[in-house]
């Protein structure tokens, strides 16, 4: 007997600056998902937070993937979130799995994951804690440091209505803090919003005025701002897949087309991507080990892309610290040029099979959690 069909809810759009990336990712998940296995429902979240049934895109797919627009629009009749997630219910209702193809705050940061837990539905990707931890760059760096994971040097603070506050709670003048940061991290340095992805709001500053302007830009996206030393190493990423027994893909190396791997490089095909990355067997094995260790340390399940710098002396003879973790992305991009699906394709798992694996992992975790949810006392 064939397995019962699965109601797969693709949740996309969202209220973050990564709304457009999500709409592109969702389009390609939609066209790759097996129509013989899934009854697909498209639920969009507008930039203002309204939930809609985006049926037009699903109907357009009936004319063939080649006719689909590259960008799914969050347009359609309004729907209540719980209704969209759980369906009509009933004893004959199909198994529901939600694929939150959402990037950035209000989607990848544990907020949607919490709602999915309350709705008691299976969902693809990391849980509440891991999603929230990995979205907050400072919290993730501090957590990985406690686990002995090597990283670049960084400083951080919050800034709100002109008031800058250091991690110990003390206040500081922006100009003074910039001088301290330059003295500690050197120039050039990178300035980032504490909670954002896709390189949104990220700047490379080469002088004092540039640092101040970059802080102001980053603070427009998040009150938490992180400053990092510039790394003179190779940028190499790797995909991880799994729950209790995660596995790592081959690696991919990024050669930025700009000063760094920015938004345009990631989504306008401006960077050179080498998949697999030119690494020897021992180097790849060590990277895979470190990626899985970080994955476990952050309690991630489902998937992630782990981004490294590799200081092997090739860019500067004095920079030979080896592997340094940069960031962990719990819902990486799924566009045609995104590294996560491309690295798995190079490892031997094509896009449709990858979606099947992610759905199966979501179901397995949901069933496991139900076995350990006792409410009586």
Locate CATH 3.40.50.20 in the chain: 6-123
> For residue 111, what is the DSSP state?
H
- Give whole-number Cα distances, 280 to 23, 96, 285, 286, 292, in Å: 37, 42, 9, 10, 19
As to burial, measured by CB atoms within 10 angstroms (0-12 exposed, 13-18 middle, 19+ buried), residue 36 is exposed
pLDDT at 266: 47
Give the end-to-end CA distance of the chain in Å, rounded to a whole number: 40
Task: Give 242-270 pLDDT, tens digit per residue.
Answer: 999 999 999 999 998 656 544 554 445 56
What CATH class has 6-123? alpha beta
* CA 184/CA 193 separation, integer angstroms: 19
- Give whole-number Cα distances, 253 to 67, 136, 165, 234, 304, in Å: 32, 24, 37, 7, 16
pLDDT at 261: 46
Locate CATH 3.30.1490.20 in the chain: 154-229
Locate CATH 3.30.470.20 in the chain: 134-150+232-348
pLDDT at 350: 96
Per DSSP, helices labelled H in 167-277 are: 174-185, 208-219, 263-267
Contacts of 244 (CB under 8 A, 6+ apart): none
CATH domain 154-229 topology: Dna Ligase; domain 1 (3.30.1490)
The CATH homologous superfamily to which domain 134-150+232-348 belongs is: ATP-grasp fold, B domain (3.30.470.20)
Taking 70 as the pLDDT cut, the residues of the chain under it are: 1-2, 88-92, 197-198, 257-270
pLDDT at 197: 66
pLDDT at 91: 56
pLDDT at 143: 97
pTM of the model: 0.90
> For residue 66, what is the DSSP state?
G
Task: Give 85-136 pLDDT, tens digit per residue.
Answer: 998 655 567 899 999 999 988 999 999 999 999 999 999 999 999 999 999 9
pLDDT at 86: 94
């Amino acid at each position: 007997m064939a397995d019962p069909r699965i109601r797969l809810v693709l949740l996309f759009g969202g209220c973050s600056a990564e709304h457009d990336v999500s709409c592109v990712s969702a389009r390609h998940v939609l066209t790759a998902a097996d129509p013989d296995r899934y009854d697909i429902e498209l639920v969009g979240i507008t930039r203002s937070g309204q939930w809609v049934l985006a049926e037009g895109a699903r109907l357009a797919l009936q004319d063939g993937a080649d006719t689909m627009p590259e960008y799914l629009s969050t347009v359609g009749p309004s729907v209540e979130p719980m209704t969209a997630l759980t369906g009509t219910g009933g004893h004959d209702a199909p198994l529901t799995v939600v694929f939150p193809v959402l990037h950035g705050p209000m989607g990848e940061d544990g907020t949607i994951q919490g709602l999915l837990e309350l709705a008691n539905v299976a969902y693809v990707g990391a849980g509440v804690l891991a999603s929230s931890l990995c979205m907050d760059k400072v919290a993730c760096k501090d957590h990985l440091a406690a686990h002995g994971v090597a990283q670049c040097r960084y400083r951080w603070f919050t800034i709100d209505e002109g008031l800058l506050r250091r991690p110990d709670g003390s206040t500081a003048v922006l100009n003074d803090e910039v001088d301290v940061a330059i003295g500690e991290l050197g120039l050039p340095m990178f300035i980032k919003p504490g909670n954002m992805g896709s390189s949104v709001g990220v700047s490379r500053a080469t002088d004092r005025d540039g640092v101040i302007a970059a802080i102001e830009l980053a603070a427009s996206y998040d009150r938490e701002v992180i400053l990092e030393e510039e790394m003179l190493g190779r940028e190499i990423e790797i995909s991880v897949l799994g729950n209790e027994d995660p596995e790592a893909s081959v690696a991919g190396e990024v050669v930025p087309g700009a000063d760094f791997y920015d938004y345009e490089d990631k989504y306008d095909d401006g960077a050179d991507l080498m998949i697999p990355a030119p690494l020897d067997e021992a180097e790849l094995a060590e990277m895979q080990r470190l990626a899985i260790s970080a994955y476990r340390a952050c309690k991630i399940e489902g998937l992630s892309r782990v981004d490294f710098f590799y200081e092997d002396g090739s860019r500067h003879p004095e920079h030979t610290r080896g592997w340094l973790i940069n960031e962990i992305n719990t819902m990486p991009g799924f566009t045609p040029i995104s590294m996560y699906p491309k690295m798995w394709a190079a490892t031997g798992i094509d896009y449709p099979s990858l979606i099947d694996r992610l759905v199966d992992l979501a179901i397995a975790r949901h069933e496991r959690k139900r076995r350990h949810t006792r409410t009586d006392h």
